[in-house]
Amino acid sequence: MTIRTLDQVELKGKRVFIRVDFNVPQDDKNNITDDTRILLSLPTIRFVSEAGGKAILASHLGRPKGKKDSKFSLAPVAGRLSQLLGKEVALAMDCIGGEVQKRIGDMKEGEVLLLENLRFHPEEEKNEEAFSKGLASLCDVYVNDAFGAAHRAHASTEGMTRFVKLVAAGFLMTKEINCLEKALISPPKPYVAILGGAKVSDKIGVIQNLLDKVTTLLIGGGMAYTFLKAEGFHVGKSLVEENQIEFSHNLLEKARGKIKFLLPSDHIAAERMEIQAKREMVENDKIPSDWVCLDIGPETIRKFSEEIKSAKTVVWNGPMGVFEMEPFREGTFAIAKAIANSSAFSIVGGGDSVAAVNQAGVADRISHLSTGGGASLEFLEGKALPGIEALRRR
């Protein structure tokens, strides 16, 4: 069943509940340090407002554990959103109840109201029916534009859709679905998938689902050392998931002769994971027993970049090293630049990878930056996401 999109809905005069993802990073003074998720929501919010709808925005922020906590208030988001929209965005004191109903009832066409943090109520994450019905009573139209929360069956992403007659996908949600489907359904080849990050266990489903689709699989980051140990290399004190060594060995055997499965051949190793630690470039068979590998080396960068250069489709999730530390960011930044310089249709997902392309200054040359780390991974695993399936039902 196809999903109804926002531009197919009559919005004038309607109460439009928009589930957005405003789970933005903040510093210890509650200043927003990255407003990317707010910026990406603007097209949907503006469309509803300009069409004469009453835009009711709802989001979670952090993990307040079902209790009101000023540390997780959406007040800073309301302020930033007001600046970006060029109009006042009021913040409701709650996300449900009589006072919120009255506030919405007093709204004029085109106005925007932000509800307070959904997760101040434990019923949100429990997807309780009464809470879902309460949220549904606030609106005539439900719009989900929060792809980053689409893998959660919560009241605001799945439960309330059962009690609203008209549901639709926002513009960001629609773009996410279309781009990720392109990576799974007849993607142009050569198709290169790049997986990094700490653990093999986090990427098992993605690897298994992409094995029949990709031309080349490039593995970096901490997860590479479980594979290298499975190949018989001594990896020093580098991160290894001992319980994944057999799986990694079997996966490598399965991939041989079927696709290119490339592991790092050299590394930036250090005595310890510190900026000032002694470090040097080492090859696979020369990793010191008491050192830790924290980035891919220049030869690996060259090989990986060559594969990316010839690709027509590239998917990247997970950094190549501890890129938060300046001495160990070269590999991650080099991959970001290689993708940006390629002519491939490219998708970058996961918070660290998206942060890397932003820091490398190449975000505007990536075809699609996915806003959902966990959601994009589960989508690439081939899983049905509750928030998306809820839109298909209606």
- 7-18 residue pLDDT tens: 999 999 999 999
Cα–Cα distance between 19 and 387 in angstroms, integer?
10
Neighbours of 200 (CB within 10 A): 27
The angle, 0 to 180 degrees and rounded to 10, between the axes of the packed helices 298-309 and 330-341 is 20
The pLDDT of residue 373 is 79
- 374 as an active site residue: the answer is yes
Share of the chain above pLDDT 70, in %: 99
Q: Which of 162, 199, 309, 365 is catalytic?
A: 199
- 165 as an active site residue: the answer is no
Neighbours of 98 (CB within 10 A): 8
Q: Taking Cα atoms as reference points, which of 71, 68, 125, 76 lies closest to residue 94?
A: 68
**pLDDT-derived band at 257, boundaries 50, 70, 90:** confident
Q: Taking Cα atoms as reference points, which of 335, 385, 377 lies closest to residue 360?
A: 335
Q: Which of 15, 37, 213, 279 is catalytic?
A: 37
Segment 302-311 mean pLDDT? 98
Q: Which of 62, 351, 365, 394 is catalytic?
A: 351
What are the pLDDT digits (tens) for 45-81? 999 999 999 999 999 999 999 999 999 999 999 999 9
**pLDDT-derived band at 393, boundaries 50, 70, 90:** low
Go through the domains of the chain in sequence order and give each one's CATH number. Answer: 6-169 (3.40.50.1260), 177-380 (3.40.50.1260)
Strands 279-283 and 292-296: unpaired
Cα–Cα distance between 204 and 318 in angstroms, integer?
13
What are the pLDDT digits (tens) for 365-388? 999 998 887 888 899 988 999 999
Q: Is the pLDDT of residue 274 over 70?
A: yes
- Mean pLDDT, rounded, of the chain: 94
Strand order in the sheet with 279-283: 279-283, 266-270, 292-296
What are the pLDDT digits (tens) for 85-97? 999 999 999 999 9
- 37 as an active site residue: the answer is yes
Helix (H, G, I), strand (E, B), or coil: what is residue 142? strand
Q: Is the pLDDT of residue 101 over 80?
A: yes
Share of the chain above pLDDT 90, in %: 85
The pLDDT of residue 222 is 95
Tokens of 121: 């109520």
Contacts of 149 (CB under 8 A, 6+ apart): 19, 21, 23, 60, 156, 157, 372, 375, 387
What are the pLDDT digits (tens) for 163-176? 999 999 999 999 99
The pLDDT of residue 394 is 62
Q: Is the pLDDT of residue 192 over 70?
A: yes
- 351 as an active site residue: the answer is yes
What are the pLDDT digits (tens) for 293-304? 999 999 999 999
